[in-house]
């Protein structure tokens, strides 16, 4: 994949902490530019550096097929994401000034703060990983890359990693750089250390098998029997192969329908996320 090339020391040579650079590595996509036309700087911030240890390439394989990209939706040729929930193109109007919001998202030099900002961000969710795969999500691709890189730097190999979820009824917790989805009710993590959480291994190699991984969880972070909406969400997740698409679907679904309550539309969900930190 042309946009997942790797240089093990690129960000180090620039003087940027790799765990900071990882949250900036695909800024060009949020500006509707290909990897070949990516600028090195954006509003004074170094961006679009290659990610070490094959973390970007591995995360890409979790959400997109291996090999040369092929257009999957003939009528869609932009970087704006198609929603699996509504079937519609995400509206750029959701963000008043995309460049300003993007700069605010990436300007911090602290990896933990960047991670939390991305968990709560709106602007990268407007875009896909690739115009060829418009149902994928730039937001969750970036969070997956960061989680993989953090685990690899800690000495874990891909086959040692787990999808871990908040135990049912427990307070959602954020694990710096390893939480890939944070909702008010639960969090999901990609980690080599599940720390007692319900967890299942990702597999031997990175492939688009979110549905299979989800189905193998020993416990779900919500009670499927308690609400029809949770049952609908669970059923849909057993069908979605792409990791970034699945994570984006969870976020959209919960914000739209809020399973387990009487409200069918949530507004301001980003402000209510966060959970406790670990």
Q: Please tell me the distance from the alpha carbon of residue 107 to that of residue 193, in angstroms, as a whole number.
A: 30
- Report the predicted TM-score, pTM, of the whole model to 2 decimal places: 0.87
pLDDT of residue 269: 37
pLDDT of residue 126: 95
pLDDT of residue 70: 72
From first to last of its 278 residues, what are the pLDDT tens digits of the chain?
A: 334 333 444 455 678 999 999 999 999 999 877 777 778 999 999 999 999 999 999 999 999 998 776 766 766 678 999 999 999 998 765 667 899 999 999 999 999 999 999 999 999 999 999 999 999 999 999 999 999 999 999 999 999 999 999 999 999 999 999 999 999 999 999 999 999 999 999 999 999 999 999 999 999 999 999 999 999 999 999 999 999 999 999 999 999 997 544 334 333 333 334 455 55
């Amino acid at each position: 994949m042309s946009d997942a090339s790797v240089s093990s020391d690129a960000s180090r040579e620039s003087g940027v902490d790799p765990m900071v650079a990882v949250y900036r590595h695909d800024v060009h996509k949020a500006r509707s530019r290909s990897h070949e036309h990516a600028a090195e700087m954006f509003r004074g911030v170094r961006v679009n550096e290659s990610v070490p240890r094959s973390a970007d390439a591995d995360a890409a394989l979790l959400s997109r097929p291996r090999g040369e990209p092929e257009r999957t939706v003939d009528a869609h040729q932009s970087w704006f994401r198609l929603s699996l929930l509504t079937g519609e193109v995400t509206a750029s109007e959701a963000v008043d000034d995309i460049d300003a919001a993007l700069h605010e998202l990436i300007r911090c030099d602290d990896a933990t703060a960047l991670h939390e900002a991305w968990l709560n961000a709106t602007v990268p969710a407007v875009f896909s990983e690739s115009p060829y795969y418009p149902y994928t999500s730039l937001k969750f691709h970036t969070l997956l890359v960061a989680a993989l890189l953090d685990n690899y730097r800690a000495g874990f190999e891909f086959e040692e990693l787990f999808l871990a979820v908040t135990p049912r009824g427990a307070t959602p917790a954020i694990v710096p750089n390893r939480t890939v989805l944070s909702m008010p009710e639960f969090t999901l993590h990609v980690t080599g250390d599940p720390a007692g959480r319900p967890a299942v291994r990702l597999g031997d190699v990175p492939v688009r098998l979110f549905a299979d991984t989800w189905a193998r969880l020993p416990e779900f972070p919500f009670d499927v029997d308690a609400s029809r909406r949770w049952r609908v969400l669970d059923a849909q997740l057993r069908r979605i192969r792409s990791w970034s698409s699945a994570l984006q679907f969870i976020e959209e679904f919960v914000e739209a329908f809020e399973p387990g309550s009487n409200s069918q539309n949530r507004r301001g969900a980003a402000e209510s996320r966060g959970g406790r930190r670990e």
